[in-house]
Amino acid sequence: MSNIPADLHYAKSHEWVQISADGTALVGITDYAQSSLGDITFVQLPKAGTVLTAGATFGVVESVKAASDLYSPVACTVLAVNGALDSAPETLNHAPYAEGWMMKVKPAGVDLGSLLDAAAYATHIG
């Protein structure tokens, strides 16, 4: 059974977003995604300052099983990326919601209407 925190919003493409009180947000991949990928060996993330539209590809995650594109759950500007993932991409396997966050962003207006809550995401992944 996948871990699906109730305080996050989820894209059908298996990314999560956590909106902070200061208007910024963290983005990462779900426990279901990391489990499906297997042992993660590489992560490619955008540079700070990159402007993304909702649904745009922002990077790649590779594992022993497959490579998978990453999609931005919201329109945003990238403020920072988690540089620790460069040397320890396996962090995504054991802490996808904590130390495994991928990027900190400034959403361009928060429209969460296209995202799923925890219950809807649980239904989506079956």
- How far from each other are the two terminal CA atoms of the chain, in whole angstroms? 10
Pairing between strand 15-19 and 25-29?
Answer: antiparallel
Closest CA to 38 of 72, 18, 61, 70: 61
Q: Which fold has domain 9-111?
A: OB fold (Dihydrolipoamide Acetyltransferase, E2P) (2.40.50)
pLDDT (0 to 100) of residue 1:
57
Task: Give the pLDDT band of residue 85 (cuts 50, 70, 90).
Answer: very high
Summarised one tens digit per residue, pLDDT across range 90-112 is: 999 999 999 999 999 999 976 77
Predicted model pTM: 0.95
pLDDT value at residue 107: 94
Q: pLDDT tens for residues 34-82?
A: 999 999 999 999 999 999 999 999 999 999 989 999 999 999 999 999 9
Domain coordinates in residue numbering, the chain:
9-111
Helix (H) or strand (E) holding 35: helix 31-37
> pLDDT class for 8, splitting at 50, 70, 90?
very high
Res. 29: pLDDT tops 80: yes
* Residue whose C-alpha is closest to residue 40's, from 54, 61, 57: 61
